[in-house]
Amino acid sequence: MTVRTSAMRRAFRVGSLGFLLAFGTSPLLSSPGMAVDAYPQGVAQPTPTPICTGDECACPGDCDGDGAVGISELIRLVRIALSLDALAVCPVGDTSGDGAVSIGEIIAAVQRSLNGCGGEVPFSGFDPADLTFLASDELDGRDNNTAGSIAAQQYIIDQLRGFAVGLNTAASGDDAFKQTFPLGTNVLAMIPGGDLAEEYVVIGAHYDHFSGCVGVCNGATDNASGVVAVLAVARGLAALPQPPRRSVVLAFWDREEDGLLGSRHYIQNPLVPIADTVAYLNFDIQGANLLPSVRDFSFAVGSETGGAFLSDAVDDAVAAVGLQTLRVSSIFGQARSDYIHFVNARVPTVFFGDSTGPCYHESGDDPEIVDIGKLAMQSEIGFELARYLAQTDERPSFATAPPVVFEDAEHLLEVFDQAVANDLDLFAPADATVVEQFHTDLTAIVAAGPAAFDGPAIGTLLTGVAAAIELLVELPCDGFLEE
């Protein structure tokens, strides 16, 4: 697997706003075959991205047959997608054979332009059109028990229907994808496995946000982006030449914003046995940048719950993709996302997140502030990890560990080194002093080494991180996207 660089991230990010606007409004993203009454008035009905499988996907977008996808060929595919050129100009770009070039097919071609066309077909499940729809004003925040929530449910089901089955075997049709509970609906699906089909890897994200902002709370990073990642992982797994050995449950939780109620209901009323759940991967707040200097950083929280096996698997997935994803202990998730219910049920768990930053629960949390390149890489990390856990002979066992370990301090110091060196001017003077002092304390803790990592040091670490998060949230909403 090719390791991605910041330059490659920029290739995905270039013109991200124009990219989203162009394809989010393209007529190619509507389809008359979907449930019309499930979407709010005025919201286009997007079509699921075609999944490319088989030999025809060897090098989509290679119009001239030279074994590579060049810039001129990418431009050609974009022009075809916008109906500016006829499909006949480059028919190989239509890998699904549906008579059009979709956003997914263009993404696949972009990936091959970065990675080359030989060898294993790169991950191509990521589709930013998911974000455009789920975080649109028309869905009004996807608050539970609203028209926007129902539209989000229907959209997710429409994406899954072609390759996954509903997990609720007591129901049929679209209802098979739903687990209802008071004032909420979880959307649950499964990609059936092979010889280990009675074991399950669960991948989840909450799809709800809320509608209490001044203006509209679109919740693009919280948590439309997490849903985008799970859908991307699902499409990637479905496109594998052979189904995964273990079954993969795709979970989209409702009422997370009301106290993690959807995932709690599932744990109390599981549709597959908890004892046979191999691992849970949680995606909450993806494609978000805390500060300009830490764009390339993200977090993997709680992998110690699966012992060295799960932590090593996370490290391998991260290394395969290249985004600097720092492992920290479960306590740093502050029990504020759905992962915690799986940890409490003794399921090995990892929570991928970008922490809470300046756009958290703000009306400015729109698709325009999402780091699309980062989100694509986070989706691929999830795919690499999910694929491994669904295929490997071994499975992680739940493990107990100290709440905080010395490596947490080391990893978090990497973030604060960058922030203090480059971004202090974004904070008010008094707040900058607080950040500087914590950086000084954290530097001393790491310099003292693991033998001196005692109760007072742990207390300083925990209180300092909590204070820094509060200061980040107070900054003006900004995606800190590269220009």
Q: For the residues 305-317, what does the mean pLDDT come to?
A: 98
What average pLDDT does the segment 123-135 reach? Answer: 90
Distance, CA of 367 to CA of 282 (rounded, Å)? 21
Identify the weakest region by mean pLDDT among 41-55, 144-158, 192-206, 247-261. 41-55
Query: Facing residues of 191 across strands?
Result: 248
pLDDT of residue 66: 62
Q: Which of 176, 175, 156 is nearest to 166 (CA)?
A: 176
pLDDT, the chain, mean:
85
Task: Please report the pLDDT score of residue 90 as a whole number.
Answer: 73
pLDDT-above-90 percentage for the chain: 71
pTM for the structure as a whole: 0.80
* pLDDT score, position 65: 65
- CATH code that applies to domain 129-391: 3.40.630.10
Which burial class, exposed, middle or buried, applies to 27 when counting CB atoms under 10 A from its CB (0-12, 13-18, 19+)? exposed
Q: Collect contacts of 311-319 with beta carbons under 8 A, ≥24 apart.
A: 313/385, 313/388, 313/389, 313/396, 314/350, 314/385, 316/384, 316/388, 317/381, 317/382, 317/384, 317/385, 317/388, 318/381, 319/3
What integer pLDDT is reported at residue 84 of this predicted model? Answer: 72
Helices and strands (H and E) in the chain: how many: 14, 9
Length of the chain: 483
Helix axes 372-391, 16-24, angle to 10 degrees: 70
Q: Is a pLDDT exceeding 60 seen at residue 14?
A: no
Lowest pLDDT segment from 63-67, 223-227, 235-239, 342-346: 63-67
Query: Is pLDDT of 121 > 70?
Result: no
Tens-place pLDDT, residues 185-222: 999 999 999 999 999 999 999 999 987 677 889 999 99
In the three-class reduction of DSSP (H, G, I as helix; E, B as strand; rest coil), residue 248 is classed as strand
**Which two tokens mark 343?**
């940890």
Crossing angle of helices 372-391 and 225-238, in 10° steps, is: 50
Annotated domain spans of the chain: 6-115, 129-391, 406-474
| Measured CA distances, 290 to 357, 420, 477 (Å) | 5, 13, 10
pLDDT digits (tens, 9 = 90+) for 413-462: 999 999 999 999 999 999 999 999 999 999 999 999 999 999 999 999 99
% the chain with pLDDT above 70: 78
